[in-house]
Copies of this chain bind each other. A is one copy, B any other.
Amino acid sequence: MAQNIDWAGDVFISHADVKKGMSVSSFVKELGKCGFQARKIAMAVKVLSDMVSDKECTKFLALAGTMVPGGMRKVICEFLREKFFDVVVSTGANLTHDLIEAFGEKHKFMDSEETDVELQVKGINRIYNVLLPNRGYVALENGLRKLFPKLPQKEMSSREFLYELGLKIRDKNSILKVAAEKKIPVFAPSLPDSVLGFQVWMYSQNHDLTVNTTIDQGEVLDIVFESEKTGALVVGGGVPKHYVAMAAQIADKPLKYAVQITLDRPEGGGVSGAKLEEAKSWRKVHPKAETVDLVCDATIALPLILAALKDRLR
Contact = CB atoms under 8 A, between A and B. Distances in A.
Interface of A: 1-3, 5, 7, 10-25, 27, 30-31, 33-41, 64-66, 69-75, 78, 93, 106-109, 111, 113, 115-117, 119-120, 122-130, 133-138, 173, 189-190, 192-195, 197-198, 200-201, 204-205, 210-214, 216-218, 236, 238-239, 242-243, 246, 250, 262-274, 277-283, 287, 295-301, 303-304, 306-307, 310-311, 314
Nearest to A23: B21
Given A15-B72, A22-B307, A299-B31, A120 B283 contact: yes
A15 B171 CA distance: 14
A181 B282 CA distance: 34
Instruction: List 9 A-B pairs, minimum CB-CB distance, nearest first.
Output: A34-B71, A2-B135, A38-B299, A37-B297, A3-B123, A35-B130, A2-B134, A13-B107, A116-B280
A37 B263 CA distance: 11
Given A24-B27, A125-B281, A264-B272, 14 more contacts: A3-B134, A18-B303, A19-B307, A34-B72, A36-B269, A93-B242, A117-B287, A126-B281, A198-B250, A201-B214, A238-B272, A263-B270, A265-B295, A270-B272
A71 B217 contact: no
B108 A10 contact: yes
Contact of A213 (B113, B135, B214): B214
A204 to B, nearest CB: 7
